Chain A
Amino acid sequence: MPRSMALHVNGQTAQISVDDPNMPLLYALRNDLGLHGPRFGCGLGQCGACTVHIDGNAVRSCITPLSSVGNRDVVTLEGLGTPEKPHPMQQAFIDEQAVQCGYCINGMIMEAAAFLAKTRNPSEEQIREALASNLCRCGTHLRILRAVKRAAAAQT
């Protein structure tokens, strides 16, 4: 039987109807709420394309059951900023042109934003480690590193 659940996403509360409370959060965000930021990449928690913030932590939404989200606050790429008012991390990615196809970029920005919120003045090595489990196939890594460094510098 479908049941109604409340999700707190990007500062708003949405009611959704779900058949299976074990459905991963990703499908609710994409299909019920129409968000494009988090993406399906592997469904295994291996690539990071689906990354969102839950209470400020970077989380893989493709392996996060809806039932585990509860009242916690979910923020997606859309919740960080818009083309008109981008988040500093998004602006840094624009400034460094740190995109090829961009399919992984949601995960890069969400992971890096959560990391920088907790780590001031990171070294390049720390940034590389923080992003070590986020995969990019186009080979945009060097630009992504420059963007994260730029955002880190803007923060201090």
Chain B
Amino acid sequence: MRDIATTRREFLRGTAALVVSFSIDRHQTVRAQAESPSKSVSTEQVDGFIGIDRKGEVTLYAGKVDLGTGVRTALAQIAAEELDVPFAAVTVIQGDTALTPDQGVTSGSFSIQNGGSQIRLAAATARQALVSMAAKKLKVELGDLSVADGEVTSKATHRSVSYGALIGGKNFSLKIDVAVAVKDPGQFKIVGRSIPRVDIPGKVTGEFTYMQDFRLPGMLHGRVVRPPAMGATLQSVDEDSVKDIPRLIKVVRIGNFVGVVAETEWSAIQASRRLKVNWSSWDGLPDQSALWEHVRGTKIVKEDVTSDVGQVTAALPRGATRLRATYDFAIHTHGSIGPSCSVVEFKDGALTCWSASQGTHALRKQLAAMLSMSEDQVRCIYIDGSGCYGRNGHEDAAGDAALLSRAVGRPVRVQWMREDEHGWDPKGPPTLIDLDAALDAQGSLIAWSSAFFLPQGAATPVALVAATLANLPREMNIGPGGILNDTAIPYAVPNMRTVARRLETTPLRPAWIRAPGRMQNTFANESFLDELSAAAGADPLEFRLRHLKDARGTELLERLASIAAWERAPAKPRDRNARIASGRGLAFVKYEVVRTYVGVVADVEIDRVTGEIRVKRFFVVQDCGQIINPDGVKNQIEGNIVQTVSRTLMEQVTFNRSRVTSLDWGSYRIIGFPEVPDVVIDLIDRPHEKPWGSGEPSASVVPAAISNAIFAATGVRLRSVPFTPDKVKRAMVRT
């Protein structure tokens, strides 16, 4: 076990002028060393991203963080490749507002595509500068030099000089050259290889320090006491109810925010359970049994037209066949296995927050605003937590810890309980989609019209629960994420109009969950396309190929047909009389209509009597351009498929008029080992193309593929996620 206290003492010894990087272990943040006081955090400066010490050890300062996706390893691969240093020479510091550039929130499958590309340019600029320095030092021409393993060598003189000797411990003081020559992918030695993830040995032996493991000397434990009805007002707190709890330090009350702080975690938990609090009643949530009527009836504040081609209104009635359908997708929770956690310390007027937030730079702004501090008094430091798959409760736990720490004047750790995470993390909002399309007599799509009922807002910071309850400064708008994406479709249709009706509100605080919007929207688009294909009497693969004018997409679908041994035939139910019906369904996405392509085939069985669906296997073909780490990409794809099968078949948040009622793993069930499908993956690597994201795209196609497979098996069309046995049985009766 690493001695955190030791490194902490070194931290405290650091002079006020120095920014100190905070050590945990070899592969998280390595050294408790004093960084240069002028450590740049600029995204435009080489020093923002790259530091090289006298031994030639490279530190990569990444604003993008590893949420369990392996990007720590992949970003180090990119840096090592462009610098021409051994992979093992690179250590990554992530998401520390005092040390790393603000590369934006780690979301949207942009860590490699955008974050990695910035790092590539920084590393290539650094390499170019180092070679120039070497030329001067060795008194040779640039063209005479070659680089390997951080050593620059003259071919003519055979003399060499190391990066450590050239720059060790000094700043580059150099702007990143966005036009710098980057390495020819044909020369790659590190990028494109399945280098084992650096964090795994520590994670499987208990040596790794997660956010939830992090401790400070003198640290106290806090828990929050949430109102039993989400919008209730605090009326009274009976502190006598917890006076017998040993080591209780304080009951904290700020507006409707109530928390307890104790010397031990168990005492904090006991106090939070026993504290008697009176709240007003509140029943402002809609009736869940009428959720879709509620969504349809919510005030529309604006319409976003995401594509508009031809004359859709005129074309729709002119088709030989016209189909209309409505799809819906339930409210989901992130369901992190480890509830959110944070530690906050106030010292000398400054706040330091350790958090597993996807966006420590954004969190810093939120904490500063909530506490009316200036941003430069706030430092947020990322430590890996439990997977979050979007904006879960990590930031909220930080807000809680900040209020409690300020109230007691000592460092406070808050870890949410299970019911906090299930009950209070922000949710993937309910999504309702109306579709209307027409085919001509030859079965070609001539008109496509869709309307998506989506809450207003974008991927902006989500107001902290603590700030809301305590009525402190906070964001007053909602931030559901980039949910407009994939409302438009990648197919060529002569008349097409896709519109998002932006709703004023949504029942529970919304945020992004893996493939936000893209999943819900693609579910509707790709299932409805399958309906049209069936109406046209066409094979679903051929129907897509017919309407796809895109070479990479076409190549991908052909490869999918090959690995899945797709029989090109119109979907028609087989085994109509068998109790267990089996079928396969296909879905395709060109993510956000501009990047990563994914095609999948799902093999599914359905029990006509019980309504239970069993997903047997997924075939996946993905083209995300240049692949940095193939095994890392496969790990992401497997995770996306399995997690989204779970979301599609069984997940939905339940609530009454006052609060969320699915507060544990019994009431919000997720997939278990017996139900997990096999996943067969074929990656199309394009080393000479841009690298695109891989964290989400393969999730977005899963619900439609399952829905389409069930149609192929039974002729029943499922248009409402999740596909619970009850819904399946009701749909069977209707057919």
Identify the closest chain A residue to B640 (Cβ): A139
- Determine whether A11 belongs to the interface, using a CB cutoff of 8 Å to chain B: no
Given contacts A47-B337, A106-B206, A109-B204, contact A100 B641 (CB under 8 A): no
Identify the closest chain A residue to B211 (Cβ): A103
Among residues 293 to 324 in chain B, which have CB atoms less than 8 Å away from a CB atom of chain A? none
Is B638's CB under 8 angstroms from A139's CB? yes
Given contacts A20-B270, A94-B201, contact A83 B207 (CB under 8 A): yes
Give chain B residues whose Cβ lies under 8 Å from the Cβ of A138.
Answer: 68, 387, 639, 643
- Determine whether B252 belongs to the interface, using a CB cutoff of 8 Å to chain A: no
- Determine whether A69 belongs to the interface, using a CB cutoff of 8 Å to chain B: no
Q: Tell which of B215, B247, B640, B666 touches A46, judged by Cβ atoms closer than 8 Å.
A: B666
4 interchain residue pairs of minimum CB distance:
A101-B68, A139-B642, A37-B206, A101-B387
Prevailing SS type, chain B contact patch? loop
Is A128's CB under 8 angstroms from B387's CB? no
- Determine whether A64 belongs to the interface, using a CB cutoff of 8 Å to chain B: no
Cα A83 to Cα B266 in complex, Å, equals 31
Cα A144 to Cα B674 in complex, Å, equals 13
- Determine whether A43 belongs to the interface, using a CB cutoff of 8 Å to chain B: yes
Among residues 361 to 416 in chain B, which have CB atoms less than 8 Å away from a CB atom of chain A? 384-387, 389, 415
Give the B-binding residues of A (Cβ under 8 A).
Answer: 2, 19-20, 23-24, 27, 30-31, 34-37, 39-44, 46-47, 49, 76-78, 80-83, 86, 90, 93-94, 97, 99-106, 109, 125, 127-129, 131-145
Q: Tell which of B1, B264, B334 touches A78, judged by Cβ atoms closer than 8 Å.
A: B1
Give chain B residues whose Cβ lies under 8 Å from the Cβ of A80.
Answer: 205
Is B639's CB under 8 angstroms from A100's CB? yes
Is B676's CB under 8 angstroms from A142's CB? yes
Is A142's CB under 8 angstroms from B203's CB? no
Identify the closest chain A residue to B632 (Cβ): A97
Give chain A residues whose Cβ lies under 8 Å from the Cβ of B384.
Answer: 101
Given contacts A36-B213, A142-B642, contact A132 B206 (CB under 8 A): no
Give the A-binding residues of B (Cβ under 8 A).
Answer: 1, 67-70, 196-197, 199-210, 212-213, 215, 246-247, 264-267, 270, 334-339, 384-387, 389, 415, 417-418, 631, 635, 638-643, 646, 664-666, 670-674, 676, 678-679
Is B246's CB under 8 angstroms from A2's CB? yes
Is B387's CB under 8 angstroms from A42's CB? no
- A129 shortest CB reach to chain B, Å: 6
Give chain B residues whose Cβ lies under 8 Å from the Cβ of A19.
Answer: 246-247, 264, 266-267
Give chain B residues whose Cβ lies under 8 Å from the Cβ of A105.
Answer: 203-204
Give chain B residues whose Cβ lies under 8 Å from the Cβ of A82.
Answer: 205, 207
Is B197's CB under 8 angstroms from A49's CB? no
Identify the closest chain B residue to A42 (Cβ): B418
Give chain B residues whose Cβ lies under 8 Å from the Cβ of A30.
Answer: 213, 265
A sample of 6 inter-chain contacts (CB < 8 A) reads A37-B206, A101-B337, A103-B387, A105-B203, A136-B337, A141-B673
Is B665's CB under 8 angstroms from A44's CB? yes
Given contacts A37-B206, A83-B205, A99-B204, contact A137 B336 (CB under 8 A): yes
Given contacts A2-B246, A82-B207, A90-B205, contact A102 B200 (CB under 8 A): yes
- B321 shortest CB reach to chain A, Å: 38
- B33 shortest CB reach to chain A, Å: 23
Is A94's CB under 8 angstroms from B200's CB? yes
Given contacts A78-B205, A137-B337, contact A42 B665 (CB under 8 A): yes
Give chain A residues whose Cβ lies under 8 Å from the Cβ of B389.
Answer: 137
Is B212's CB under 8 angstroms from A40's CB? yes
Give chain A residues whose Cβ lies under 8 Å from the Cβ of B265.
Answer: 27, 30-31
Q: How many interface contacts (CB-CB < 8 Å) are there between A and B? A: 188
Is A103's CB under 8 angstroms from B1's CB? no
Is B1's CB under 8 angstroms from A34's CB? yes
Prevailing SS type, chain A contact patch? loop
Cα A100 to Cα B385 in complex, Å, equals 11
- B10 shortest CB reach to chain A, Å: 19
Q: Tell which of A24, A81, A100 touches B387, judged by Cβ atoms closer than 8 Å.
A: A100
Q: Tell which of B203, B336, B638, B678 touches A102, judged by Cβ atoms closer than 8 Å.
A: B203
Is B387's CB under 8 angstroms from A36's CB? no
Is A94's CB under 8 angstroms from B204's CB? yes
Cα A2 to Cα B635 in complex, Å, equals 47
Give chain B residues whose Cβ lies under 8 Å from the Cβ of A143.
Answer: 635, 638
Given contacts A97-B200, A101-B68, A101-B387, contact A49 B205 (CB under 8 A): no
Is A20's CB under 8 angstroms from B266's CB? yes
Is B418's CB under 8 angstroms from A41's CB? yes
Identify the closest chain A residue to B666 (Cβ): A46
Cα A37 to Cα B206 in complex, Å, equals 4
Is B204's CB under 8 angstroms from A41's CB? no
Is A42's CB under 8 angstroms from B205's CB? no
Given contacts A102-B204, A142-B638, contact A97 B670 (CB under 8 A): no
Is B200's CB under 8 angstroms from A93's CB? yes
Given contacts A77-B205, A132-B673, contact A27 B666 (CB under 8 A): no
Is B670's CB under 8 angstroms from A101's CB? no
Is B204's CB under 8 angstroms from A133's CB? no
- A89 shortest CB reach to chain B, Å: 8
- B302 shortest CB reach to chain A, Å: 35
Is A36's CB under 8 angstroms from B676's CB? no
Cα A99 to Cα B199 in complex, Å, equals 9
- A68 shortest CB reach to chain B, Å: 16
Given contacts A36-B209, A37-B206, A41-B337, contact A140 B672 (CB under 8 A): no
Cα A72 to Cα B421 in complex, Å, equals 33
- B37 shortest CB reach to chain A, Å: 33
Cα A42 to Cα B339 in complex, Å, equals 8
Give chain B residues whose Cβ lies under 8 Å from the Cβ of A77.
Answer: 204-206
Is B337's CB under 8 angstroms from A135's CB? yes
A36-B206, A46-B666, A137-B387 given; 10 more Cβ-contact pairs under 8 Å: A34-B215, A37-B205, A44-B665, A76-B206, A83-B202, A90-B204, A100-B68, A100-B635, A101-B384, A140-B639
Cα A2 to Cα B246 in complex, Å, equals 9
Identify the closest chain A residue to B201 (Cβ): A83
Give chain A residues whose Cβ lies under 8 Å from the Cβ of B337.
Answer: 41, 47, 49, 101, 103-104, 135-137
Cα A44 to Cα B208 in complex, Å, equals 24
Cα A142 to Cα B666 in complex, Å, equals 23
Is A93's CB under 8 angstroms from B204's CB? yes
